[in-house]
């Protein structure tokens, strides 16, 4: 006989116990010898096929990439408009709608690729929306007819999606209670009808319709691949069948990877994110200030220069861009096409990127820094220096330099401090005298019996002669050490 009362008592006791939180088991590789968890950073590596891929397998992968492109363009077209902005975050509603209407079955794309295509496209729409917001903000602050209250209201609306989306769709604004009070205070000071119409016009002006022509790239998460037999098995459109590709290495992961097809050479490239242990160096004890430049890539506060040939690489890249764009505009019928143009552009940028990575690595190994202070330069909004210099500034790959420095600092446990660049290049690092273009003195030097202006500047007050970038690096270091002018809105890597 089963005692019913006993079963009820056991059930009541179980409910009374609090649920014990599940603790994630740490892998053996994540624990160091002293028992502490290792610090790790994520980096992307490239994997390649060991043998040429069979035509049947390549045809299946090509079909997946084509369907991936079709899904992304469909999402851009259907959900890229004003009336769908509220659906793009977090995106579950979009996925449910497409699955309910049977769109995945129509294009015969496995769910592991279909879901990634949806969220890739939605991410692109969100990115385009953020770019549009930045352009609108720029036009707002450049409009002289705007009052401070008008700018404050528009800035607030652009930052709160619950207010922006209804305004663009001509709907009633429903804001959370936490933000309702501040919105009412701002709206009472301005003409909301006039400013909302201005916002709609600016959005129509700056918004772009997304479309992709790339049909050789797709992403897949851990459910769609398996590392085994010195290679990778990728899910195909055929049920219960996977495409096997032998690889040149044995590195594995369980994260989302990107697959790039090279159809002409019957090969693929995998972009794989992996966790790498942070390297901590006991002899890295120096505090270093650095200043980026167009000709010489980086100059330190002690006068060392890194990336001396960077200016030549950058100049050749800008000349190639200018000449290619000129030829394409003159010969629209007989140009090389987008595929060749993008391939050549990628080669040029890859060459610059490799050089930047090499020089940043050399800087860290030579200077052995514990902390790096670097000025964050503003965007080139007004270029009035001349045609050639303006084009150089526009094509200057300084974001590559910043990204490379950030990555190397993360991998080597170096603290990176961003400093406001305002005044660092126009202040004497010895006496603090501030000069302008009229009081600035450049030292002239002889080259083949000809005088030319050098990068050495002379302070009109104390007579200090110093390299211009070294002076900037010293000011950035002193500003960072005094913690005055540190840009808190920018990323700061803490170890």
Phi-psi domain of 98 (left: phi exceeds 0; alpha: psi -120 through 50; beta: other): alpha
Phi first, then psi, for residue 30 (nearest 5°) are -80, -5
Q: Are residues 159 and 268 in the same domain?
A: no
Is 337 a domain residue? no
Full domain range(s) for residue 233: 44-57+214-275
pLDDT in tens, 162-187: 999 999 999 988 888 888 889 999 99
In the predicted model, is pLDDT for residue 449 greater than 80?
no
Helix (H, G, I), strand (E, B) or coil at 219: strand
Q: Does residue 230 fall inside a structural domain?
A: yes
**Helix, strand, coil shares, percent, the chain, to 5:** 45, 20, 35
Q: Residue 112 falls within a domain, yes or no?
A: yes
Residue of 105, 454, 477 lying closest to 302 (CA atoms): 477
Verify that 268 and 290 share a domain, yes or no.
no
- Collect all residues with Cβ–Cβ distance below 8 Å to 68 and sequence separation of at least 6: 109, 113, 116, 117, 215, 217, 218
Residues 376 and 318 both lie in one domain: yes
* Closest-CA residue to 157 (of 147, 148, 166): 166
**Looking at 188, 206, 224, which one is the last position of a domain?**
206
Q: What is the mean pLDDT of the chain?
A: 84
Any idea how long the chain is? 495
In this structure, the answer to whether residues 106 and 153 fall within a common structural domain is: yes
* Predicted local confidence at residue 255, as pLDDT: 92
Same domain, residue pair 460 and 352: yes
Query: Are 184 and 256 found together in one domain?
Result: no
Q: What is the pLDDT of residues 129-167, one digit of tens each?
A: 999 999 999 999 899 999 999 999 999 999 999 999 999
CB 449 within 8 A of CB 442: no
The answer to the question of residue 495 being in a domain is no
Q: Do 252 and 290 reside in the same domain of the chain? A: no
Question: Taking a C-beta distance cutoff of 8 angstroms, is the pair 52, 266 a contact?
Answer: yes
- Do 316 and 448 lie in one domain? The reply is yes
Rounded Cα–Cα distance for residues 185 and 315 (Å): 52
Residues 74 and 128 in one domain: yes
Residue 417 and residue 489 in contact, taking contact as beta carbons nearer than 8 Å: no
Same domain, 261 and 180: no
DSSP H or E stretch at residue 117: helix 111-142
Model pTM?
Answer: 0.75
Same domain, 113 and 202: yes
End-of-domain residue from the set 169, 189, 206: 206
Q: Is the distance from CB of 435 to CB of 428 less than 8 angstroms?
A: yes
pLDDT at 21 over 70: no
Whole-angstrom distance between the N-terminal and C-terminal Cα of the chain? 64
490 occurs within a structural domain: no
Looking up tokens 């022509």 gives 213
Structural domain count of the chain: 3
For residues 238 and 141, state if they share a domain: no
Task: Find the range with the poorest average confidence among 75-89, 376-390, 398-412, 421-435.
Answer: 376-390
Q: Is residue 487 in a domain?
A: no
End residue of a domain, out of 149, 177, 206: 206
User: Tokens 């940028």 sit at which residue?
Assistant: 349
For residue 248, give the DSSP letter: S
Residue 474, in any domain of the structure: yes
Percent with pLDDT over 90 in the chain = 54
Q: How far is CA 118 from CA 35, 93, 128, 206, in A?
A: 42, 11, 15, 24
Q: Please write the tens of the pLDDT for every residue from 206-231.
A: 999 999 999 999 999 999 999 999 99
Confirm whether 6 is domain-assigned.
Answer: no
């Amino acid at each position: 006989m089963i005692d019913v009362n006993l079963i009820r008592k056991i059930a009541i006791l179980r409910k009374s116990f609090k649920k014990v939180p599940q603790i994630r088991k740490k892998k053996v590789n994540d624990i160091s010898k002293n028992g502490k968890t290792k610090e790790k950073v994520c980096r992307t590596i490239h994997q390649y096929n060991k043998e040429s891929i069979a035509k049947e397998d390549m045809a299946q992968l090509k079909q997946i990439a084509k369907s991936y492109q079709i899904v992304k363009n469909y999402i851009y077209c259907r959900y890229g408009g004003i009336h769908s902005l509220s659906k793009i975050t977090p995106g579950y509603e979009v996925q449910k709608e497409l699955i309910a209407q049977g769109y995945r079955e129509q294009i015969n794309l496995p769910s592991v690729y279909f879901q990634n295509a949806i969220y890739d496209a939605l991410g692109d729409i969100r990115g385009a929306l953020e770019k549009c917001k930045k352009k609108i903000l720029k036009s707002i602050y450049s409009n002289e007819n705007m009052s401070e209250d008008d700018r404050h209201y528009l800035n607030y609306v652009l930052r709160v999606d619950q207010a922006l989306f209804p305004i663009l769709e001509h709907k009633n604004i429903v804001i959370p209670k936490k933000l309702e009070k501040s919105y009412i205070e701002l709206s009472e000071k301005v003409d909301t009808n006039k400013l909302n119409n201005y916002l709609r016009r600016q959005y129509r002006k700056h918004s772009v319709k997304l479309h992709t022509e790339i049909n050789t790239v797709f992403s897949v998460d851990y459910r769609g691949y398996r590392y085994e037999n010195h290679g990778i098995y990728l899910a195909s459109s055929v049920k219960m069948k996977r495409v096997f590709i032998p690889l040149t290495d044995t590195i594995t992961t369980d994260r989302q990877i990107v697959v790039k097809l090279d159809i002409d050479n019957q090969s693929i490239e995998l972009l794989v994110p992996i966790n790498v242990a942070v390297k901590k160096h006991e002899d890295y004890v120096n505090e270093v200030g650095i200043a980026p430049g167009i000709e010489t890539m980086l100059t330190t506060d002690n006068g060392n220069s890194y990336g001396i040939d960077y200016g030549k690489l950058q100049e050749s890249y800008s000349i190639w861009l200018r000449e290619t764009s000129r030829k394409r505009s003159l010969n629209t019928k007989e140009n090389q096409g987008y595929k060749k143009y993008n391939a050549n552009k990628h080669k040029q940028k890859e060459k610059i990127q490799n050089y930047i990575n090499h020089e940043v690595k050399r800087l860290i190994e030579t200077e052995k820094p514990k902390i790096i202070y670097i000025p964050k330069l503003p965007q080139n909004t007004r270029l009035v220096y001349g045609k050639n210099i303006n084009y150089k500034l526009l094509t200057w790959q300084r974001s590559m330099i910043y990204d490379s420095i950030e990555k190397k600092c993360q991998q080597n446990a170096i603290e990176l401090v961003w400093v406001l660049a305002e005044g660092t290049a126009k202040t004497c690092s010895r006496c603090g005298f501030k000069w302008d273009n009229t009081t600035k003195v450049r030292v002239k030097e002889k080259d083949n019996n000809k005088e030319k202006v050098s990068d050495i500047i002379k302070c009109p007050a104390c007579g200090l002669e110093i390299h211009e970038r070294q002076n900037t690096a010293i000011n950035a270091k002193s500003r960072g050490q005094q913690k005055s002018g540190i840009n808190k809105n920018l990323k700061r890597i803490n170890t």
